[in-house]
Chains A and B, each alone.
Chain A
Amino acid sequence: MTREIERVAGIPVVQIATIVPIMLTVGTNRVVPGVAIPHPTGNPAMGPEGDKAVRRELLLRSFKAMTTPITEQTIFEK
């Protein structure tokens, strides 16, 4: 889906996903590593405030990934 949206609509896509090697295998261009498979976009173990901070950081990093020009598959680490 990520590749098709980019190919057909020309919209840059950032994929937040936990198991990065799979994203690289399937050809995702912009990857933001997620937290864990049961909760990729947050960390409930850190309590409500910690969880919100994790979510916010992931989202801001994703925006940065979206606006960063790339020439190859790129992982945007923290």
Chain B
Amino acid sequence: MRLELHKIHITGLDFADETYTSGGTLFINKNEAEALIAEDRRFAKVELDLACPGESKRIIPVKDVIEPRVKIEKKSYFPGFFAPMEKTGSGKTLVLDGAAVVTCGPIVAFQEGFIDMSGPGAQYTPFSQTRNIVLYVEPVENLEKHLYEAALREAGLKLAVYFAKCCADKEWKADEIQVFEKGDTFEETQKYPDLPKVIYVCMNITQGLLHDTYLYANDLRPALPTLLHPNEVLDGAMVSGNCVSACDKNTTWHHLHNPIVQSLYARHGKDINFLGMIPTQESTVLDGKLRAAAMNLSIAQQLGADGAIISEEGYGNPDTDLCLNAKFFENAGIKTVLVSDESAGTDGASQSLADATPELDAFISTGNVNEMIEVPAMDKVIGCKEAISLLSGGAEESLRSDGSMFVELQSVIASTAEIGFNKLGCEWI
């Protein structure tokens, strides 16, 4: 399977009469884009804003971040959402690399977060480095929360696909073409019979109550673990629909860029044989957790895996899924490395995972979600600055009268992302 990402490097944003790219700038027809989203009658207000690196801007509360992309020939993306239901991962995709659609609006649930484009808060999130088109919406009165979540999730995807499609329809030239190519597991194993076979298990929040993840537009919660070719992951098969804690939610942008998939891919055929990714569940029922762990192992065994990388999403009860996966895999003779953040209290002295097991003996930490940080006031707040009082990691007293905030790290979007897309770690002392 061969996937080509045709990337236009976006280094600036501006509003204009048309939507297109030129000289690294993404020009946006604001009225047309807003009208497109306002077609959804679930929104009472729709407004676009721009936020670029280094600006004194805060975006709050953020739900999801999406990279603008479109299949070059079919002019669609995200199967089941804004593309026909078909397999992803092959052909040519136009990527507005460096640009991001950020969805924002009055709080859906308590686990959304904020992005600072400058100052000390900016270093904790990758989205202080992207050129952000912020979609701010307000829902119509009495819209039920789950319908509001669905509306906003779809609006973000729609806008991202729309921007890329507009650019694809005009004149453009890729600054870079990135190719991902790999055969099926049988072919690759014949090609590299002596390399250790490594599988990646990507745990996803699948807990209902606005904590969901979508695979080919299908809710993963009532689904079973399955196997994806890495190209499918990197080409729009996975979509975030969850309001889990801001710090460790895998946004749709994260899935498209999944750094664990990309790193394993880069080493495929060199020192490992990368088998693919198992997107799996984190259930709210113990039997569901046991079932997912058992089936993850079953898939890995069918492929003859020697080793597994397992990443968590969220914290708390999913720590049990992490432990069960480690236990099942290790006991079956498959070496595992786990990637997760820690919830170790504001002083870092508490037990950092809710569960523990002796098999969990190779662990990569992506940071302590409870760490306290101070962020100064920004000149402009896009969204609702008061929302911090309701967010996980925020409190009534977090927002001070001068506009600065004293908050837990977990209120910053993607600050401890467990697929590794951040700059934090922990040292053993």
Inter-chain contact A18/B355, CB cutoff 8 Å:
no
* Segment among B30-38, B263-271, B282-290, B295-303 that sits at the interface with chain A: B282-290
B286: contacting residue among A20, A25, A38, CB under 8 A: A20
B284: contacting residue among A22, A33, A37, CB under 8 A: A37
B272 at interface by CB-CB < 8 Å:
no
Inter-chain contact B207/A37, CB cutoff 8 Å:
yes
Q: How far, in angstroms, from A25 to B323 measured CA to CA in the complex?
A: 11
Name the residue of chain A whose CB is nearest to the CB of B290. Answer: A21
Inter-chain contact B208/A19, CB cutoff 8 Å:
no
Inter-chain contact B284/A25, CB cutoff 8 Å:
no
Inter-chain contact B286/A33, CB cutoff 8 Å:
yes
Residues of chain A lying within 8 A (CB to CB) of residue B286: 18-21, 33
Inter-chain contact B323/A21, CB cutoff 8 Å:
yes
Inter-chain contact B320/A21, CB cutoff 8 Å:
yes
Q: Which residues in window 17-31 of A have CB below 8 A to B? A: 18-22, 25
Nearest Cβ in chain B — how far from A28, in angstroms? Answer: 13
Inter-chain contact B356/A25, CB cutoff 8 Å:
yes
For chain B, the count of residues having a C-beta within 8 Å of the partner chain is 16
Instruction: Name the interface size band of chain A.
Output: 10 to 19
Q: Contacts A36-B284, A37-B284, A38-B284 hold; do A19 and B289 have CB atoms under 8 A apart?
A: yes
B354 at interface by CB-CB < 8 Å:
yes
Q: Which residues in window 357-398 of B have CB below 8 A to A? A: 357
Q: How far, in angstroms, from A77 to B284 measured CA to CA in the complex?
A: 18
Q: How far, in angstroms, from A21 to B285 measured CA to CA in the complex?
A: 12
Q: 26 interchain pairs (CB within 8 A)?
A: A18-B284, A18-B285, A18-B317, A19-B286, A19-B289, A19-B320, A19-B355, A20-B286, A21-B320, A21-B323, A21-B357, A22-B319, A22-B320, A22-B354, A22-B355, A25-B354, A25-B355, A25-B356, A33-B286, A36-B284, A36-B285, A37-B207, A37-B284, A37-B317, A38-B207, A38-B209
